[in-house]
Amino acid sequence: MQFYRHGLSSADAKGIAEVLDTPFLTSGAVGKKVEAQIAEFFGQPYALLVNSWTNGALAVLLALDLKPGDEVIIPAQTFIATANMVELIGAKPVFADVDPHTLLLTPEGAARAVTPRTRACIPVHMYGLMCDMAGLRAALPAHVTLIEDCAHCFEGTRDGAPPGKHAEVAIFSFYATKNVTCGEGGAIILKDEKLFSALQQTRLHGMSAIAADRFKSGQYRHWDMARLGVKANLPDLLAALLPNQIATIRERLPARTALVERYRAELANLPIRLQQLPDNCVSAHHLFPIHVKPATRDAAIAALNAAGIPVTVNYRSVPTLTYYREKYGYTPASFPVSHEWGEGEITLPLWPGMPDEDQTKIIETLKATVVPLCG
């Protein structure tokens, strides 16, 4: 049984073959077309491709001129990348606990974490469910930059609004298991022209022109470096895998939704907790998490694995991982909701095209071996 399988096929190889016929394999015309497609998809003035969410976030934090001592509010329940890039530039991730039902950062939770040093906040759309972005924008001071972590949510909406609507910046991941993927990659959408100009530089060493533009006229042009940047540009070889996936992503959501609805119907009324999905949200259903009593979680994983079912854990609470715990002195009691969820969470296989009989086997194994453990 597979935990996940991408939906790319030989049809997608055509785009790569076309890039192989061009002189430069790195960022160029294909990426620019995909950036225009992404900007249009989200109704945003600007989109920039990057080689990962992680490097995209680094480029954004550098473009915002975040400094040591600045604080960034981050949900305790997320993947480590969200906090790590803040830490890497020397700023301080200030964790906030999440809602016990939705597992999302709330406007109230974010507002409580604000101090005079708060510069930004990075809400995370966990498992595909969007945070209350309008509420977060209203709850935070206007000078606090909202950066959406959309690694789990490309095609989801809340109150009909897609990612990027209420935030200054939104960052996507096209990592191997994400709903839109090119193996490794990502994108940033934004509204502000000044921040866009800064990002064009911080995405590529702080240089004033990318290679394709430097060679365009046939005459060598000098470049300058006015600020510090990273190497975060996406090569056209990978960008070529994106246009068809983006054009069809909304058509593929019903397959994920149907799998999730079957899981939820079969697992209702068992001693298993599920993420609550508010009616005003369309989840991108990136992952399907369940939660069992923490004391039984590892035995439950062993029972699933013994039946040939691959699972993952998304995520153990970030502040309780060794680095953050030792540096900042957090305990499980610091962010109890995130900690409890992270100690009992199990992510089940979910991907469009997943065979029905795989899902049947997962549900039957849960009922036969995991539920008795939880009793």
Ligand X SMILES: *Cc1c(COP(=O)(O)O)cnc(C)c1O
Q: Which residues bind ligand X (CB under 6 A)?
A: 52-54, 78-79, 81-82, 124, 149, 151-152, 173, 175, 186
199 vs 374, which CB is nearer to ligand X? 199
Give strand pairing partners of 145: 120
In the complex, least distance from residue 257 CB atom to ligand X, rounded to whole angstroms: 20
66 vs 85, which CB is nearer to ligand X? 85
In the complex, least distance from residue 183 CB atom to ligand X, rounded to whole angstroms: 10
In the complex, least distance from residue 150 CB atom to ligand X, rounded to whole angstroms: 9
19 vs 187, which CB is nearer to ligand X? 187
Cα–Cα separations (whole angstroms), residue 237 to 5, 6, 20, 57, 300: 21, 17, 8, 22, 41
Q: Count the Cβ atoms, other than its own, within 10 Å of residue 99.
A: 18
Q: What are phi and psi of 155, to 5 degrees?
A: -105, 5
82 vs 118, which CB is nearer to ligand X? 82
Look at residues 247, 47, 287 and name the one whose alpha carbon lies nearest to residue 152. Answer: 287
In the complex, least distance from residue 185 CB atom to ligand X, rounded to whole angstroms: 7
290 vs 318, which CB is nearer to ligand X? 318
147 vs 366, which CB is nearer to ligand X? 147
Kindly provide the b/e burial profile for residues 39-50, where b requires at least 16 CB atoms within 10 angstroms of the residue's own CB: bebbebebbbbb
Separation between Cα atoms, residue 182 and residue 232, nearest integer Å = 15
Helix axes of 356-365 and 243-267: crossing angle, nearest 10 degrees: 40
- Taking CA 185 as the corner, what is the angle to CA 230 and CA 31, rounded to the nearest 5 degrees? 85
Q: Count the Cβ atoms, other than its own, within 10 Å of residue 200.
A: 19
Separation between Cα atoms, residue 348 and residue 263, nearest integer Å = 9
In the complex, least distance from residue 82 CB atom to ligand X, rounded to whole angstroms: 5
In the complex, least distance from residue 219 CB atom to ligand X, rounded to whole angstroms: 37
- The two three-digit tokens of residue 191, written as one number: 């509204």
Would you give the end-to-end CA distance of the chain in angstroms?
Answer: 27
Separation between Cα atoms, residue 226 and residue 204, nearest integer Å = 12
Q: What are phi and psi of 73, to 5 degrees?
A: -85, 130
Cα–Cα separations (whole angstroms), residue 217 to 209, 212, 213, 256: 13, 10, 8, 47
35 vs 149, which CB is nearer to ligand X? 149
In the complex, least distance from residue 105 CB atom to ligand X, rounded to whole angstroms: 12
Give the DSSP H/E element, type plus range, for residue 331.
Answer: none
Q: Report the SS3 class of residue 199.
A: helix
Q: What are phi and psi of 181, to 5 degrees?
A: -140, 150
Which one of 67, 92, 178, 327 is the catalytic residue?
Answer: 178
- 178 catalytically annotated: yes
287 vs 374, which CB is nearer to ligand X? 287
Residue type, 370: V
Residue type, 178: K
In the complex, least distance from residue 361 CB atom to ligand X, rounded to whole angstroms: 26
What amino acid positions are annotated as catalytic residues? Answer: 178
